[in-house]
Amino acid sequence: MDPKENLLNNLLRVEVAKKGQSATFAFAGFSLFSFLYGYGCERFLFPIKVISALLFVLSIFRFFHYKKIIEQGTVSASEWLYTVMLVTLNGFGLAVILSLASFELKLSGVHFVVATTLLAGLVGSSTVTLSYFPILFLPFQTFLLLPQIGIILYYYFAEGLNYLPLIVLYVMYYGYQIKQFRAYRKDLVQLFTYQIELERKNRELNESQSVIIDQTVKLVHTSRLAVLGEMSAGMAHEINNPLTIISSCAQMLTRFGKADKVDNQLLVKHTEKIYKSVERISAIVKGLKHFANQSDRVPKGRYFIHEIMSETTPFCLEHINSLGIAFKIEEIPDIEIHCHSVQISQVLLNLLKNASDAVAGEPDAFERWISINFKQDDQYFYFLVSNGGEKISNEVAERIFNPFFTTKNSGTGLGLSISQTIMKDHGGELYYDSDGYERTTFVIKHPLMNV
């Protein structure tokens, strides 16, 4: 049996438990009614009461058995065998009660009408509750109806009582129930088949989404490393400067030692220079590790704006200065946001790299500048990254965030597209403001902490 068929059978069996659990109340009520009413019997009253009591207990067992199946949502082979046994015993017990009553009443009288009405009700209810498996439905129906036909034939031949039309009625009713059984089963099988197919499609969709998320994380990380690679020359220079200071101070201290004379003031001065240079290198390396680390799956945290800026500027400052570009940062406000700080740094670095590329070729030195300004409203905090280059044309502005679109001779055209995705994931936005400023200005919009 293939997995799909196994799953379908399991769903049908659980459905039997769901319908059967509510039906146990009806069967328990029937058992209690039979015990108290007795159908006006005298000869078979005792066995009717005993069987009724046993069926009442059996109904309680069925209820808790079905409850267990519903809670666990699956049916093992042994549990299914136990279900079949309970249903078979239940049908057999009901058949014995009604057959004994019909036999003693000789198929006539008010009590027989009551018994026949209950018989029709039980047969009809079993069509709904057991109509998913022939192994449950057919024996149950047969136990209830076949003995009645036998009793009719017995009294017809033994005492000449002609209730043969009842046989036709029972057979027609039995045939109708078989038809209903097939219709119920067909509809339910079709419903569950659709459900299984839908669940399969959902699993495939979830797997596809997982793959897309993994690829997106890798793409964001790769883009981040690409920007680092482009800024590597500037970072090397940024590290080389404090190393030169350390080297010079170390040479001076060596000379002091060889000359066998120590100027305490000069010693303190040079050791402080070494200490500050080491701190500077440490900060650069720490920021580099933080920025290069693939931490996109780490939960967001609370970061001050000045922390984000201090993680970003070391990677681009030397590169920007080497191109003769003035770099101005407005006073950083003491504001905290909830974000992936490394991703916000990546967006800023992308914008700064694009800005430096845009103004590096400007012949007028006064136009070679980049600035970062800040503002906020009731809901959002804004980073404004501007440069002195010409404003972007409307045609380019319409396509600038499209994946793989670039105006450069080199580059993937993914930087702004990825940056925009990052900001959307943060509940914010990245956009080019073509109207609010005289110069080219990109805006990073991020929700404030209290929003």
The better pLDDT of the pair 298, 249 is held by 249
What's the pLDDT score for residue 63? 93
- Give the separation between CA 278 and CA 76, rounded to whole angstroms: 68
Q: Longest C-alpha distance within the chain, in Å?
A: 142
3-state helix, strand, coil in the chain (%, to 5): 70, 10, 20
* Arithmetic mean of pLDDT, 147-176: 86
Backbone dihedral angles phi then psi of residue 444, each to the nearest 5 degrees: -100, 120
Q: Are 132 and 17 in contact (CB under 8 A)?
A: no
- Residue 57: HSE in the Cβ half-sphere, 13 Å Cα cutoff: 5
Whether residue 446 is predicted with pLDDT greater than 90 in this model: the reply is yes
Paired tokens of 186: 């067909």
Whether residue 233 is predicted with pLDDT greater than 80 in this model: the reply is no
SS3 260: coil
Burial class (CB in 10 A: 0-12, 13-18, 19+), 139: middle
What whole-number percentage of the chain has pLDDT above 70?
83
* Arithmetic mean of pLDDT, 199-215: 75
What's the pLDDT score for residue 7? 81
Confidence of residue 214 (pLDDT cuts 50, 70, 90): low
Q: How is the chain split into domains, by residue range?
A: 3-203, 237-293, 296-451
Looking at residue 411, the DSSP 8-state letter turns out to be: S
Whether residue 142 is predicted with pLDDT greater than 80 in this model: the reply is no
Q: Are 238 and 317 in contact (CB under 8 A)?
A: yes
Cα separations in angstroms, 409 against 99, 219, 231, 406:
94, 21, 17, 8
The better pLDDT of the pair 123, 314 is held by 314
What's the pLDDT score for residue 91? 83
What's the pLDDT score for residue 177? 74
Contacts 24+ apart (CB under 8 A), 413-416: 414/219, 414/223, 415/223, 415/227, 415/350, 415/353, 415/354, 416/350, 416/354
Cα separations in angstroms, 32 against 36, 39, 50:
6, 12, 11
What's the pLDDT score for residue 266? 72
| Superfamily for the 296-451 domain | Histidine kinase-like ATPase, C-terminal domain (3.30.565.10)
What order of strands is seen across the sheet that includes strand 369-376?
326-329, 369-376, 380-387, 440-447, 429-432
Q: How many helices (H) and strands (E) does the chain have?
A: 13, 7
Cβ neighbours of 79 (radius 10 Å): 16
SS3 432: strand
